[in-house]
Amino acid sequence: MGSGEAAASRAADSFLSGEGEMKPHILLMGEAVTLTHVVRPALLADALHAAGYGVTLACDPRFNALIGPRPYRTIALKSSIDPATSTALLKQNQPLFSVETFNAYVREDVRLMRLVQPQLVVGDMRQSLAISAQLTKVPYVNIINAHWSPWSDEPFALVDHPLHKVLGRDTGDRLLSLLTPLGSMMMALPINIAALNNGVAPIGAGLRETFCAGDYVVYPDIPELSPTRPLPPNHRYIGPLDFSPQMAPPPWWDAVPGDKPVIYVNLGSSGEPALLEAILAGLADLPVTVIAATAHPGAVLEVPANAFVADYLPGDAAAARAALVICNAGASSGCQALMAGTPFLGIASNTDQLSYGTMVAKTGAAENLREDEVTAERVRETVARMLASPGYREAAQCLKQDLARYDAKANFVAFVGDILAAPLKAFSSEVDTGSHAENASTREPTAASLS
């Protein structure tokens, strides 16, 4: 949708409503480095729209075929990084966005906020909003997983690093743990330099602070699985956001035999076809039936006789019929398996995925392999062991019950209502690693107060 069309639509739907009051309008922005960061704001936009708010969703259209049309205004953004590039950068533990990209994004953010004139802006991986929301004085809600929170004690889990090749995994991990504060500061440099370029104070001292910058922060997680120390009142757990493409199942869906355990394999938009092929090879000789989604239309794979493959699958239905899910261990795919009560084998290619997978493994509902550990033999052995051990499913069923107690959409809508009804100073975003409760109601937060 062009800017003129968007402006016309904005004028059409933002007039008086209800008892003569202007309907609050909310802008949601998703940075399309992976499907997850578009899906989550789209699902929350759905909930806000259903609750009567004016809604605009801005994101790159590369995933439109999966998320489908929305019943509210959408605006196309051009994300500078595609999933393949973001995957490569994450594997190398490099910042996703350069100073130049942040500066360009800030200009685009400001343009959009002046066009839409929202009362609130919500972002998922749109880190530039920590700067642009300050420039426009629009309150900013950041969507981020809880293991990135400054109040999380979950250690960074590096999948691969050049030091591992030199020193070995154990020694390399010990040295890297000592270097983590320096590495975290270096990862935060681009956004902090961009903030200074735009006349804003540095956003945060390290990676956790910059990832969680915002006037308000929502975690699409549950504390039972992704715990933190006590949070300030402007940080909220809302619960998991589950998404499955609205699509017809492939022609073979009803022909999948039910006489053997079903393994559902989906490495997501960040997964590589070659890795999927190695996994399929590892499952080829097991007494299982495999249903797999490539998430890469047109990918050419060598498919064994016991596997059924499609570009995409209805993930919730696939996870529900599976005895085991093999996924990238990330919060979206891993949580989808757990919401079905199905354990998963996580194949992690970056820190975010391995961190979430590690937390689930602590509960007994998952096992994880780093991408560089994947061989057909290793996959075969791990899957056979998990299928033979009922404890994995029992743990996953327990987490299913925990997850089912949360209604993420309702919790988010309620939080937005609280935000719009209360003065900004009633909340706090200042990081206090000790007691945060005493003065929380008296501090006036800014997006830079995480520094």
For tokens 């393949």, the residue is: 84
Sheet with 216-219, edge to edge strand ranges: 73-76, 54-59, 25-30, 120-124, 140-143, 216-219, 235-237
- What is the rounded distance in angstroms from the CA atom of residue 310 to the CA atom of residue 296? 9
Q: Give the CATH H-level superfamily of domain 3-239+406-442.
A: Glycogen Phosphorylase B; (3.40.50.2000)
Closest CA to 104 of 190, 201, 209: 190
Tokens matching residue 32? 């399309």
Amino acid sitting at position 92: Q
- Distance CA(274)–CA(284), nearest Å, equals 15
181, amino acid identity: P
Residue 305 and residue 334: Cα distance in Å, rounded? 26
**Residue-level pLDDT at 338:** 98
CA–chain centroid gap for 11, Å, is 32
56 closest CA partner among 15, 117, 110: 117
CA-to-CA separations, 278 to 17, 134, 182, 297, in angstroms, rounded: 56, 47, 36, 18
- What are the start-end ranges of the E strands in 225-300? 235-237, 262-266, 289-293
Percentage of residues in the chain having pLDDT higher than 70: 81
Q: 281-322 pLDDT, tens per residue?
A: 999 999 999 999 988 776 768 899 999 999 999 999 999 999
Q: Cα(238)–Cα(236) distance, rounded to whole angstroms?
A: 6
Is-same-fold flag (3-239+406-442; 253-404)? yes
Side-chain-side CA neighbours of 29 within 13 Å: the count stands at 30
Point out which residues pair with 369 in neighbouring strands: 347
- pLDDT tens by residue, the chain, 451 residues: 443 334 334 433 433 333 445 579 999 999 998 889 999 999 999 999 999 999 999 999 988 988 889 999 999 998 777 767 776 776 667 788 999 999 999 999 999 999 999 999 999 999 999 999 999 999 999 999 999 999 999 887 666 656 556 556 666 566 556 556 677 788 899 999 999 999 999 999 999 999 999 999 999 999 999 999 999 999 999 999 998 887 889 999 999 999 999 999 999 876 777 899 999 999 999 999 999 998 877 676 889 999 999 999 999 999 999 999 999 999 999 999 999 999 999 999 888 999 999 999 999 999 999 998 999 999 999 999 999 999 999 999 999 999 999 999 999 999 999 999 985 544 433 333 333 333 322 223 333 332 2
Output the CA–CA distances (angstroms, integers) from residue 23 to 20, 218, 249, 429, in the order listed.
9, 23, 39, 27
pLDDT value, residue 183: 73
**Which structure tokens are listed for 26?**
């909310």
Enumerate the domain spans of the chain: 3-239+406-442, 253-404
Q: Which residue has the tokens 């009051």?
A: 21
Q: Where are the beta strands (DSSP E) in 185-323?
A: 216-219, 235-237, 262-266, 289-293, 307-310
> Of the candidates 131, 247, 255, 117, which has an alpha carbon nearest to the alpha carbon of residue 195?
131
Neighbours of 223 (CB within 10 A): 13
- The topology (CATH level 3) of 253-404 is Rossmann fold (3.40.50)
Please name the helix (run of DSSP H) or strand (run of DSSP E) that holds residue 76, with its range, or none: strand 73-76
